Amino acid sequence: MMLLEMVGGRKNREKDNIECSSDAYFPNWIYDNIAVNVPSCEVICDLEETMRKMALVGLWCIQTNLGNRPTMSKVIDMLEKSINELEMPLKPFLSCPSCAS
């Protein structure tokens, strides 16, 4: 989650992020706004690629199914690869215990 906060430039629990909806669920926001939005130009600057790579790795690390989460050695391997070599993780789903009513 710390990787996602670094890339997103905000904390998971900000005052405007406590609403129980998929729009307010921070991993969904990252997935929709950073990991999926590939720049239209062919040349991606190193910073943007690094941020997108960190977001993808962060999304892999918070997968609900523990079997889908990478080991630390796999995380290092993923960070050393190019962005084009990484697979897109499953989209995180909202899990808000206070919403279950």
* 8 A C-beta contact, residue 46 and residue 37: no
More confident residue, 96 or 3: 3
Q: How far apart are CA 70 and CA 77, in angstroms?
A: 10
Considering the chain, what percentage of its residues have pLDDT values greater than 90? 27
Q: Give per-residue pLDDT as tens, 4-52.
A: 777 777 677 654 544 555 456 778 877 877 655 655 544 456 667 888 8
Query: With 50 as the cut, is the pLDDT of residue 59 above it?
Result: yes
Give residue limits of the domains in the chain.
Answer: 2-96
Taking every pair of Cα atoms in the chain, the longest distance, rounded to a whole number of angstroms, is: 48
pTM for this predicted structure: 0.62
